[in-house]
């Protein structure tokens, strides 16, 4: 590459470049990995992103940056013991292998609701990333169970800052590595209370931390791949389901991020079914109704969901808003 390096890239311990063959949106693609604007592990901008995480080789900090001088290509720079592994998996992280070709065939386009078809037209750069990091996706999903988004994001920020390690490299201030399973098991009851996490979710998180090493054995396997004698389960989905407190909603949330699943739907979400029904039919539906509406797109149902989310449509709001609860002084 002929362009001058970004100041923070000069010290990178591993680096690669990538030029998408078609439209690509960094923010839309990696947005699913960010747990709120204040996420200590992910910072997103239109043309750059910082991500901090653990790899099998050790911790890593990754800077992805669009380089206009290189024909709208990207540089992937990494620091830390896991820098080489992070760069090696960089294209998976960026969704470079996510294939929309089957979804975009003429028959599908004709069957799409006009709002979804228009959203696809206006958002051609959306890709589904594959992190391959199961526990990093499972822990936030557990924190999001049966609470508001604001409460879940608060809990994630608090825990990351309480027990998340400082990442390697020239990362922005206050960024942290995601909590390790050992760090989650070390959290004291008062820390869970300060994070506003109830006993049910904290217990599930601790159980997930205990199973993390076994779960990570599926990290690089394809969805549906079977593996015997691992937690007594044959697939990653079954292994996740074997953890008390982890159900279909959490499993879908994990697989959408770890494997870029184009089909897993977060069934059981408090808002999703009603929103999908509102957009596609003008009326609210339940989970069964949502699944029926999406059945013609089996194999790509999550693509339809994401495009609805990017369509600009808003779910009709009824009833009072739920105020966050602070249990620390109760």
Tell whether 67 is covered by a domain: yes
Q: Is the pTM of this model over 0.95?
A: no
Whether the per-residue pLDDT at 119 is higher than 60: the answer is yes
Cα–Cα distances (Å) from 203 to 17, 56, 74, 87, 231, in that order, read 42, 26, 41, 34, 19
Distance between CA 272 and CA 165 in Å, rounded? Answer: 34
Which range has the worst mean pLDDT, 71-75, 140-144, 174-178? 71-75
Q: Are residues 252 and 308 in the same domain?
A: no
Task: Give the domain-ending residue among 238, 258, 278.
Answer: 258
Q: Are residues 151 and 235 in the same domain?
A: yes
- Domain range spanning residue 49? 10-97
Question: From edge to edge, which strands make up the β-sheet containing 73-79?
Answer: 14-18, 73-79, 58-67, 48-55, 42-44
Q: What percent of the chain has pLDDT over 90?
A: 79
Check residue 68 and give its pLDDT. Answer: 79
Name the pLDDT band for 320 (thresholds 50, 70, 90): very low
Check residue 89 and give its pLDDT. Answer: 95
Summarize the confidence of residues 250-272 as an average pLDDT.
95
Task: Give the domain-ending residue among 258, 287, 307.
Answer: 258
Minimal CA–CA distance to 117: which of 98, 97, 102, 103?
Answer: 103
Give the model confidence (pLDDT) of 122-138 as tens digits.
999 999 999 999 999 99
Tell whether 140 is covered by a domain: yes
Residues linked to residue 49 through DSSP beta bridges, in sequence order: 44, 64
How distant is the alpha carbon of residue 127 from its chain centre?
12
Distance between CA 26 and CA 200 in Å, rounded? Answer: 35
Minimal CA–CA distance to 120: which of 314, 260, 310, 297?
Answer: 310
Tell whether 294 is covered by a domain: yes
Q: Are residues 253 and 138 in the same domain?
A: yes
Distance between CA 330 and CA 137 in Å, rounded? Answer: 30
Q: Are residues 50 and 157 in the same domain?
A: no
Whether the per-residue pLDDT at 316 is higher than 80: the answer is no
Check residue 223 and give its pLDDT. Answer: 75
Tally Cβ neighbours within 10 Å of residue 89. Answer: 23
- Say which residue, 292 or 322, is predicted with more confidence: 292
Would you list the DSSP string of 261-296?
-SS---TT-TTHHHHHHHHHHSS---HHHHHHHHGG
Which range has the worst mean pLDDT, 2-16, 226-240, 270-284, 287-301? 226-240
Check if the beta carbon of residue 161 is closer than 8 Å to that of residue 175. Answer: no
Residue 44: phi and psi, rounded to 5, are -115, 140
Which range has the worst mean pLDDT, 183-187, 268-272, 288-292? 268-272
Average pLDDT taken over every residue of the chain: 90
Distance between CA 194 and CA 134 in Å, rounded? Answer: 25
Cα–Cα distances (Å) from 140 to 86, 263, 301, in that order, read 21, 20, 23
CATH of the domain at 202: 1.10.340.30
Distance between CA 323 and CA 312 in Å, rounded? Answer: 25
Distance between CA 21 and CA 55 in Å, rounded? Answer: 28
- Say which residue, 234 or 185, is predicted with more confidence: 185
Summarize the confidence of residues 56-69 as an average pLDDT.
93
Element containing residue 28 per DSSP (H, E): helix 26-30
Q: Are residues 116 and 143 in the same domain?
A: no
Q: Are residues 20 and 89 in the same domain?
A: yes
Distance between CA 302 and CA 252 in Å, rounded? Answer: 10
Cα dihedral 238, 242, 245, 248, rounded to 10, equals 10
Q: Are residues 112 and 93 in the same domain?
A: no
Which range has the worst mean pLDDT, 37-41, 44-48, 218-222? 218-222
Name the pLDDT band for 200 (thresholds 50, 70, 90): very high
Check if the beta carbon of residue 264 is closer than 8 Å to that of residue 255. Answer: yes
> Exposed (0-12), middle (13-18) or buried (19+): which is 179, by Cβ within 10 Å?
buried
Give the model confidence (pLDDT) of 224-246 as tens digits.
676 654 444 468 899 999 999 99
Cα–Cα distances (Å) from 78 to 12, 50, 292, 313, in that order, read 6, 10, 44, 37
- Say which residue, 320 or 100, is predicted with more confidence: 100
């Amino acid at each position: 590459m002929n362009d001058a390096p970004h100041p923070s890239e000069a010290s990178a311990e591993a680096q690669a470049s990538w030029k998408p063959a078609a439209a690509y949106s960094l923010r839309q693609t990696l947005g699913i990995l960010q747990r709120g604007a204040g996420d200590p592990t992910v910072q997103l901008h239109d043309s750059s992103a910082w991500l901090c995480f653990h790899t099998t080789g050790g911790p890593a900090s990754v800077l992805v940056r669009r380089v206009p001088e290189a024909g709208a290509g990207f540089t992937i720079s990494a620091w830390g013991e896991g820098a080489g592994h992070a760069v090696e998996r960089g294209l998976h992280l960026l969704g470079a292998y996510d294939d929309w070709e089957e979804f975009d065939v003429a028959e599908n386009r004709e069957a799409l609701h006009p709002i979804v078809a228009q959203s696809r037209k206006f958002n051609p750069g959306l890709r589904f990333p594959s992190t391959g990091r199961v526990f990093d996706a499972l822990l936030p999903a557990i924190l999001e169970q049966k609470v508001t988004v604001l409460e879940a994001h608060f809990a994630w920020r608090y825990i990351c800052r309480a027990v998340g390690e400082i990442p390697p490299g020239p990362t922005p201030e206050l960024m942290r590595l995601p909590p390790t399973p050992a760090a989650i098991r070390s959290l004291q009851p008062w820390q869970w209370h300060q994070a506003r996490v109830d006993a049910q979710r904290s217990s599930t998180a601790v159980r997930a931390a205990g199973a993390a090493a076994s779960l990570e054995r599926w990290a690089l396997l394809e969805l549906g791949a079977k593996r015997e004698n691992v937690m007594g389960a044959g697939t990653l989905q079954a292994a996740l389901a074997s953890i008390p407190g982890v159900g279909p909603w959490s499993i879908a949330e994990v697989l959408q991020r770890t494997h870029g699943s184009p089909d897993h739907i977060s069934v059981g979400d408090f808002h999703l079914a009603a929103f999908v029904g509102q957009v596609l039919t003008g009326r609210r539906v339940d989970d069964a109704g949502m699944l029926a509406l999406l059945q013609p797109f089996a194999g790509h149902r999550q693509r339809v969901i994401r495009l609805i989310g990017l369509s600009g449509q808003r779910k009709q709001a009824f009833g009072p808003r739920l105020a966050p609860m602070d249990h620390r002084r109760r």
